[in-house]
Amino acid sequence: MSDHEYDLIVVGAGPAGSSAAYAAAKNGIKVALLEKEENVAQTVRTSGVTWIDYAKEFGIPEDCYNPIRTYNFCSPNNIASISDDKPKAAVLDVRKTFRFLADQAKKNGAEIFVNTNVTEVITENGKIVGVKASSSNNEMVFRAKMVIDASGFQSVVSKSLGLVKQWKRFGVGAEYEAEVENVNADTWWLMVGQMYSPAGYAWIFPLGKNLVRIGVGIGKPESEVDPTERLDELIEKGVGPIKDLGKITKKEFHYGLIPNEGLSRKTVYDNLILVGDTAGMANPLVLEGIRYAIKYGRVAGDTASKAIKSGDTSEKALRHYEETWKKEIGPKIKSAHKVQAKWLKLSDDDWDKEIGIISNLTADEFLDFIRADFTVSKMVKLATHHPMLAVRQFFNIVKGA
């Protein structure tokens, strides 16, 4: 058994963990970043949708993503197509992006331990002071002044400490990365209605050239449908816009879980911070959270490093982190949950009508909606431009949150 001493241990080298390790190491503290897989992003669990303004803010290179400027949204009997002059959404090369973020951490001094699986937490006087891990049949002990739990949906550290329970509401996504005959590289498809997903949506996200990601997301516990079975069925039958792709050659299968319980978790304790999926940072409308993971991963790393330097890693000293992220995105996530609750009740006929309303939105209005960027000023503007009953109802839902 080998012993290691660090200022900070970050568990999980996804976008949240790598971003936390980067920010903390940049501030000059000794950081260990632990990843259970043999390589960072060895397994892809996300479709990788994000937004170009965030990608630029985070310094993600342009060759890490495919830009999108046309947004097609379809129900069983209706289609809305909204185009922009310039691309504002993006589909990430997930491996390339996550490895870029981990490399950023490494270049700033963080030490990355791959194939290192946390098996146990170490506590003293009720506070976490480290973790035990296994790596290639070797047992390792990592001790530190603080730990950041960025282990994702499974919340390995927090759960081991008895601080959280498994998520009860979550999204399950299954997708194929595939080569296809026909695709517009700057156009995505979101597909809604019972035939696509009884509690969620299906998608076609282009990666550039003739590569796409075709997937299905299902909300749990709202539906018992298996997303992999539904995805195979949609591809086999060539349902909706999938038929226009022509021959589909599957290259890789992706499967992932994402929490959908909003701000239900406390995210700071003595010597411990939760971030990313572990903290429940996800936009409920399309269940994406990479931008939140990177942004607040950096806030977590910065907060932890300053606390360590000050010699005070108490919950009180770390509270600024939780106050920051919940203040900035909390109201938006709450509003999005209200909209999602409305969506889950829609029949196919309702969706056909909803798509008709969406087709009247500008690209910016549509993206603000999908991104869950709900501010009162934007909603007032939306309701003024589109004084239809459903939009007014939508505005009232958001305002009420």
Q: What is the dihedral of CA 71, 76, 78, 79, to 10 degrees?
A: 20
Instruction: Answer for the pair 230, 218: CB distance below 8 angstroms, yes or no.
Output: yes
Check residue 381 and give its pLDDT.
59
Is residue 368 over pLDDT 90? no
Q: What is the pLDDT of residues 103-115, one digit of tens each?
A: 999 999 999 999 9
User: How many other β-carbons are positioned within 10 Å of the β-carbon of residue 273?
Assistant: 30
Is residue 400 over pLDDT 70? no
Is residue 23 over pLDDT 70? yes
Check residue 303 and give its pLDDT.
98
Local confidence band at 384 (pLDDT 50, 70, 90 cut-offs)? low
Check residue 353 and give its pLDDT.
86
Q: What is the pLDDT of residues 51-83, one digit of tens each?
A: 999 999 999 999 999 999 999 999 999 999 999
Is residue 241 over pLDDT 90? yes
25 contacts: CB under 8 Å, gap ≥ 6: 31, 105, 108, 109, 110, 301
270 contacts: CB under 8 Å, gap ≥ 6: 126, 127, 128, 313, 314, 315
Is residue 389 over pLDDT 50? no
Is residue 390 over pLDDT 50? no
208 contacts: CB under 8 Å, gap ≥ 6: 66, 185
Check residue 374 and give its pLDDT.
66
Residue type, position 296, single letter: Y
385 contacts: CB under 8 Å, gap ≥ 6: 362, 365
**Mean pLDDT of all residues belonging to the chain:** 92
List domains and CATH numbers for the chain: 2-45+95-167+261-329 (3.50.50.60), 66-91+169-259 (3.30.9.10), 336-400 (no CATH)
Check residue 292 and give its pLDDT.
97
Check residue 50 and give its pLDDT.
95
Q: 221 preceded by cis ω (within 30°)?
A: yes
Local confidence band at 268 (pLDDT 50, 70, 90 cut-offs)? very high
Local confidence band at 365 (pLDDT 50, 70, 90 cut-offs)? confident
- Closest by CA position to 48, among listed 36, 65, 69, 61: 65
Q: What is the pLDDT of residues 158-195, one digit of tens each?
A: 999 999 999 999 999 999 999 999 999 999 999 999 99
DSSP H or E stretch at residue 256: strand 248-259
User: How many other β-carbons are positioned within 10 Å of the β-carbon of residue 309?
Assistant: 13
Check residue 124 and give its pLDDT.
97
Averaged pLDDT, 273-284: 96
As a residue count, the chain comes to 401
